[in-house]
Amino acid sequence: MLILPVYFDNNATTPVDPRVLAAMMPYFTEAFGNAASRHHSFGWAAAEAVSFAREQVAALIGADPSEIIFTSGATESDNLAIKGVFDMYAGKGNHIITCATEHKAVLDTCAHLQKQGAEVTYLPVNSRGLIDPAALDAAIRPATVLIAIMYANNETGTIMPVREIGAIAKKHGVPFFSDATQAVGKIPVDVLADGVDLLAFSAHKMYGPKGVGALYVRRRNPRIRLTPQMDGGGHERGMRSGTLNVPGIAGLGRAAAICQTEMEAESRRLSTLRDKLETGLLALGRVYVNGNPDYRLPHVTNLSFGRTDGQLLLSGFNKNIAVSSGSACTSALPEPSYVLKAMGLDDELAYASFRFSLGRFTTEEQVDYCLQSVKETVIKLRSSDLFV
């Protein structure tokens, strides 16, 4: 039985998997101790839960558990990575390289550092949302202290050439940071094979709770050092002080373990459903896929609907279908997506673009309903006097 509304905005956030919730519950009421309390069993139980979760999270991305720093989410991880490297390596230089289509958590952090003397190069992207690795190579200077390029774009699902970027960074001896919030748990991520030195992600994008995330910080070959951005009790190897969110961390660990086990089969299932939705909507004509259709996340499609008005189209189906017209952090703004604009879309198409992001609990029945509802709305709009 179809229950409305249906949810197609899993890139914004995902529901907590019941298995994750079950793993979290004991640490709210029974094993409620502080993981830093070393003198009694309540603290030991909490510390054990954190240690186990650290192993689960590390295993998902091919890291050592000691390289995982728990944070409040990807935004904090982004800030800690970028500001922490900039401060630590200030004696070497002040140049950061990033990309025009990064998440605002990266772009705004770089803008903040520019006010403190940083020089930031914003690499452009092509019509598929990809940077040119040759342009990255040419942009590196002796004063470059960080390359910050996301793993997969939150709006289009485009996957960057991460291993090529990692190889370029290694050749020049520059740390490579990647915001992998949309990639971790959805596609295989291996920090060693990818050549990533710092990697950020968040639990709530992978069926875990909101308010908890992680930052991978490489410990050897090379060892990456960070200046803490929050002072206190020296938690998390001194990089992130503050009482650990034990229930959230336990949830992140369980979410990571589930993703590692189920990722391959789930990717196949979701790409099949995504392709069905996309093919059906493309059949309308004057509908365009934004991003790189050959190399993207399996659950995402971003589509522009020509000969329609974006606001009228959204209002025609959004009561029963949850989709996004941009990233969750910027979609409330009355302007077209900066990601799509950077890819060369004009205002009309950018305004009439929508991201459909499927998830673990998306069913074929929901896809059929979404397809039918969106098609009916587009056809109705196009038949009106406004778009004749």
User: How far is residue 252's CA from residue 206's CA, in Å, rounded to a whole number?
Assistant: 8
Q: How many CB atoms lie under 10 A from the CB of residue 372?
A: 12
| Residue 108 CB neighbour total at 10 angstroms | 15
Residue type, 293: P
Catalytic hit among 99, 110, 259, 329 = 329
What percentage of the chain's residues is helix, strand, coil (to nearest 5)?
A: 40, 15, 45
CA dihedral 81, 85, 87, 91 (to 10 degrees): -170
* Exposed / middle / buried, residue 304 (Cβ in 10 Å: 0-12, 13-18, 19+): buried
Whether the ω angle into residue 142 lies within 30 degrees of 0, i.e. cis, is no
DSSP code for 15: P
Distance, CA of 250 to CA of 340 (rounded, Å):
37
Question: Could you tell me if 159 and 295 are in contact, meaning their C-beta atoms sit under 8 angstroms apart?
Answer: yes
165, HSE (Cβ side, Cα atoms, 13 Å): 26
SS (H, E, C) 30-42: CCCCCCCCCCCHH
Contact 337, 103 (CB under 8 A): no
Tell me how far apart the alpha carbons of residues 359 and 237 are, in angstroms, rounded to a whole number.
Answer: 34
At 222, the amino acid letter reads: P
Question: Which 3 state secondary structure label does DSSP give 181?
Answer: coil
Active site residue 110: no
The residues assigned a catalytic role are 329
